[in-house]
Amino acid sequence: MVISDLFGKIIGFISKRCSWWWEIPSSRDEFTKAILTVSIAVLIIVCYTFLIRKWKKESVELPPGPRGLPLVGNLLSLDLELHRHFAKLARTYGPIMSLRLGSKLCVVVSSSTVAKEILKDHDTIFANRDVPVAARALSYGNHDIVWSPYGPHWRMLRKVCVGELLNNTNLDAFKSLRQRKVNQMVHNIYTKRGTPIVVGEHIFETIFGTMTSMLWGGTHEAGESSAEFRQVMNEVVRLFSKPNISDIFPILARFDIQGVVRQFRKVVLWHDEFFNQIIDQRLELGRRGEEENRPEIKDFLQLLLKRNEQGDPMTTAQIKALLMDFVYAGNDSVTTVLEWAMAKLMDHPEAMRRAQEELDQVVGLSGTVEEAHLSKLHYLSAAVKEVMRLHPIAPLLLPHSPSQSCVVGGYMVPKDTQVLVNAWAIQRDPEAWDKPLEFQPERFLMATTKYDYSGNDLCYIPFGSGRRICAGMALAERLIMYTLASLLHSFDWRLPEGTKVDLSDKFGMTLKMKTPLVAIPTPRLSNSELYA
């Protein structure tokens, strides 16, 4: 019952029961009358105060959190390394806490128990994204699978990605392509043997070439190089990582005070021209009847355009948005994980030695790694999982937003709140992990360990969990394992003289190494022709 209604009923009751008092003869002592009137007023105030307190006590409160300032909330006290900052605050305010970021309420979850309520128990309610202003421009108005709101459109995109593009049949069909790209990487590194190389640059070149070949055949008349594309991608990451006042105070979004949207429009225009030329070329081949003469393996763009011919069309904006997702999520995340993996193994020589010994047993030094070997590389798989535990791709996952108010962890999370799940903190929780800060791949080899990438155990969620779990997980796992296995099998690695591995990170859209890894490769295969 609303408090104002209760208050009105109390006044009505008192007025009715005490009406006789105001009707008594005027000869009655005025002082006594005044005393009784004041008493009645005090009684009303006491009852009202009691009901207000009772209502507040029975109402579900917001999660606790640090006190903020007027207007700006907690903005001025935030640390740039948000994953660490939120983990530190959680030790004071608990596994679910709230902060005010300008006019936006933000709830941060730092335990697997509360994360389960959001990503499993109330998955449908929290299936929407809290979309940054910049993301709307990059995703063609939320037409992509990453930022699209939960509903029929998103379910269609999810079905297309997981069921039609990234199914096992298609992934197996591109096996020879991935092998060709990785062999090319090994050859390029071999030509620089004995000299320091920036490991991440060679990895990016390989993953970019693999992804673009799978997406649209990897060829384009404009001749855009991976270096130019990487430059544009770095600009996108920079803009995404830049705090935007339009996200903090949505009422100001129309003014684009910092010019972030204007800068993004330039980037989107570059991508738009790039994708339009690729799509137009493919459509022209179809009109000339030359599309059927292309290789038997259909790239993703062919499959998407084929849906249109079969009466299950997707708009051009939807197609371009999906291509954008694959290019960015695929390249950036896989490259980042691989660079971390190489750095961690070089910082732990015993772990690298054990991984190489396993490769020698499974593959041998007279041959090269193939994807068929991956299922037998148990220690290497454990090492990758341990890398992703300590250095998750997206430390706060991607922001969720409830479609309706919901009670989580005993607290109210209002509709449209920004909800962040601190996977970085959860995967370092000492209550869930033994010696959580140590690099121990062996923990994933224990018989009692059931951790995988499915997100079913909320203690380990490098790809997220629930409905919005990463759609490209199966492809990412193959690319990471195969590329890393080839790097370790083909070369020994050492640091330049007088240097050491810098394992400090840089918070952003993805959790990158602050200092790029530089290492010296030395061939270890028995025959130099294997590097050709």
Query: Which pair of structure tokens corresponds to residue 401?
Result: 């937003």
pLDDT computed for residue 328 by the predictor: 86
**Which long-range contacts does 524-530 make (Cβ < 8 Å, 24+ apart)?**
524/356, 524/365, 524/489, 524/490, 524/491, 524/492, 525/365, 525/366, 525/368, 525/489, 525/490, 526/365, 526/366, 527/366, 530/366, 530/367, 530/368, 530/490
Short-list 530, 523, 526, 440, CA closest to 487: 523
Cα 251 to Cα 253: distance, rounded to the nearest angstrom: 6
CB atoms within 10 A of CB 78: 16
pLDDT computed for residue 137 by the predictor: 78
pLDDT computed for residue 490 by the predictor: 98
Q: Read off the DSSP letter of residue 253.
A: G
pLDDT computed for residue 470 by the predictor: 95
Q: CA 38 → CA 41, 44, 45, 230, 357, distances in Å?
A: 5, 10, 11, 77, 90
C-alpha atoms less than 13 angstroms from C-alpha of 298 in its C-beta half-sphere: 16
Per the CB < 8 A criterion, the answer to whether 390 and 428 are in contact is yes
pLDDT computed for residue 51 by the predictor: 40
Q: CA 202 → CA 356, 520, 530, distances in Å?
A: 20, 13, 18
| Placement of tokens 């738009």 in the chain | 272
Query: Which pair of structure tokens corresponds to residue 33?
Result: 């009358």
Query: Which pair of structure tokens corresponds to residue 526?
Result: 């028995």
Q: CA 200 → CA 179, 333, 359, 507, distances in Å?
A: 19, 12, 22, 17
List the Cα angle 190/194/197 in 5-degree steps.
75
Beta-strand ranges (E) seen in 176-250 are 197-198
Short-list 462, 493, 197, 522, CA closest to 348: 493
Let me know if 450 is exposed, middle or buried by CB neighbors in 10 A (0-12, 13-18, 19+).
exposed
Q: Is the pTM of this model over 0.75?
A: yes
Beta-strand ranges (E) seen in 12-83 are none
CATH topology of domain 82-531: Cytochrome p450 (1.10.630)
Per the CB < 8 A criterion, the answer to whether 397 and 119 are in contact is no
Q: CA 144 → CA 75, 197, 304, distances in Å?
A: 30, 36, 14
Length of the chain counted residue by residue: 532
Short-list 189, 153, 163, 73, CA closest to 487: 189
Cα 272 to Cα 270: distance, rounded to the nearest angstrom: 5
Short-list 179, 193, 182, CA closest to 523: 193
Cα 446 to Cα 378: distance, rounded to the nearest angstrom: 11
pLDDT computed for residue 48 by the predictor: 41
Cα 199 to Cα 531: distance, rounded to the nearest angstrom: 17
Q: CA 502 → CA 332, 347, 375, 385, distances in Å?
A: 20, 9, 31, 20
C-alpha 388, offset from chain centre: 13
CB atoms within 10 A of CB 5: 9
**Residue ranges of the domains in the chain?**
3-58, 82-531
Secondary structure, 3-state, 165-193: HCCHHHHHHCHHHHHHHHHHHHHHHHCCC
Residue type, 357: E
Short-list 291, 287, 9, 239, CA closest to 135: 239
Percent of the chain with pLDDT over 90: 66
C-alpha torsion sign, points 495, 500, 504, 508 = negative
Give the chain's residues under pLDDT 70.
1-58, 218-226, 289-297, 447, 449
C-alpha atoms less than 13 angstroms from C-alpha of 400 in its C-beta half-sphere: 33
Strands 505-506 and 104-109 turn out to be unpaired
pLDDT computed for residue 295 by the predictor: 54
pLDDT computed for residue 8 by the predictor: 45
Cα 8 to Cα 308: distance, rounded to the nearest angstrom: 63
Q: Read off the DSSP letter of residue 328.
A: I
Say whether 426 sits in a helix, a strand or coil. helix
Per the CB < 8 A criterion, the answer to whether 63 and 98 are in contact is yes
C-alpha torsion sign, points 479, 480, 483, 485 = negative
